[in-house]
Amino acid sequence: MIKPIGILLALGAGLSFAGYTLLSGQIVQGKNPLETAAVIFGIGGVILLPFLFLFDMQWISQPSGIAVSLHLGIVATAAAYFLFSKGLQQVPASSAVSLSLAEPFTASVLGVALIGEKLNLLSWLGIGMLLGGIVLIAFAPKKKYFA
């Protein structure tokens, strides 16, 4: 069942990531990618701080909670976005956003191949559309829209 709120949230996430990438692409030029990622995520952390008091956060004081928090903070976020920021110094932001479409495609295919996840027809159609979009972007003639 397709839920309109899910579509809106997905569009919001996509627009947010595109905005982040375009803004970061401008910020990292001539600057240290580690410093720029730290500032951007530090500001994000301050914005999200009020939510810390809205939810039960006792899990974070457990050894498994500390391990998960460190892994998500250092490996999945800090290292990944440091490398992403480093890449934005070499690759235009528009290309980086296009290339990032490969992430959900790769995650889905790895889930099927390595974990044995089962996908329905709609999921496979989505994967096909992602792959088609990546191919179109990769082989489309380059146009300049902005001077």
Tell me the mean pLDDT in the region 10-15: 90
pLDDT score of 87 more than 50: yes
Tell me the mean pLDDT in the region 95-105: 80
Please give the pLDDT value at position 5: 94
pLDDT score of 102 more than 80: yes
pLDDT score of 147 more than 50: no
State the SS3 of the chain: CCCHHHHHHHHHHHHHHHHHHHHHHHHCCCCCHHHHHHHHHHHHHHHHHHHHHCCCCHHHHCHHHHHHHHHHHHHHHHHHHHHHHHHHCCCCHHHHHHHCCHHHHHHHHHHHHHHCCCCCHHHHHHHHHHHHHHHHHHHCCCCCCCC
